[in-house]
Amino acid sequence: DGGITQSPKYLFRKEGQNVTLSCEQNLNHDAMYWYRQDPGQGLRLIYYSQIVNDFQKGDIAEGYSVSREKKESFPLTVTSAQKNPTAFYLCASMALSGQTKRNYGYTFGSGTRLTVV
Amino acid sequence: AQKVTQAQTEISVVEKEDVTLDCVYETRDTTYYLFWYKQPPSGELVFLIRRNSFDEQNEISGRYSWNFQKSTSSFNFTITASQVVDSAVYFCALSEYGNKLVFGAGTILRVKS
């Protein structure tokens, strides 16, 4: 079945460490997104990518980095510069209709819960 | 800039009551999409509905119904005869032509038996 796989489900990071969250999709979707969710808050956009080898900052990109070397993969690295990384991270993907970029809806992964210890 | 407001932080109802979750949005685009998602305790986002800005027809799906009114920039969600399994966080979201999805803060729904 097609879908998005996020791993790991739970991740613990020590102070000063970089960690990478994995997001893989087999839906042949063009666009991929990373969101962060804090308790009692909605989801905020970190980074997104509409095509391979290209990505844009979202609303809270500071302290994060991404890459999009393959269409199927969009890993997120939480760097030591992110001072408060404890949160729930969700990856999403969406098909685009080419030039019109029509929205066909989003598919979300099951999330990674990151905790700083 | 686009913005989604869910003014109700938390709602508690007793089973079988009807409940309406409010969503108000702001956008400058004439072409946009509105969504509702359910987030159970497991954390996954469950897609409920997508509506584009040119389709103001209300929709009913089982116990769920949605009322889209462009005149008031609202996209409200009603659960009829609520059940304990409906307990979750519900998010309203907006996507403009450029396809970024912006979420409201969410409404926690607690349905008690």
pLDDT per residue over A30-80, tens digit each? Answer: 899 999 999 878 899 999 999 999 999 999 999 999 999 999 999 999 998
| Distance between B25 CA and the closest CA of chain A, angstroms | 14
- Test A42 with B105 for CB contact under 8 angstroms: yes
- Test A41 with B104 for CB contact under 8 angstroms: no
Neighbours of A97 (CB within 10 A): 10
Is the predicted pLDDT of residue B23 greater than 60, yes or no?
yes
First to last CA, chain A: 36
**CA separation for the pair A49, B103 (Å, rounded):** 18
**CA separation for the pair A95, A49 (Å, rounded):** 12
| Distance between A109 CA and the closest CA of chain B, angstroms | 7
Q: Which residues contact B1 (CB under 8 A, 6 or more apart)?
A: B26, B28
Which H, E and C letters describe chain A, residue by residue?
CCCEEEECCEEEECCCCCEEEEEEECCCCCEEEEEEECCCCCEEEEEEEEECCEEEECCCCCCEEECCCECCECCEEECCCCCCCCEEEEEEEECCCHHHCCCCCEEECCCEEEEEC
Confidence at A1, pLDDT banded by 50, 70, 90: low
- Test A48 with B100 for CB contact under 8 angstroms: yes
Query: Which tokens hold the place of B110?
Result: 């607690």
- Amino acid at the residue A69: E
- Test B99 with A50 for CB contact under 8 angstroms: yes
pLDDT, greater one: B74 or B42: B74
Place of tokens 């926690």: B108
Farthest-apart Cα atoms in chain B, separation: 43
What is the pLDDT of chain A when averaged over all its residues? 90
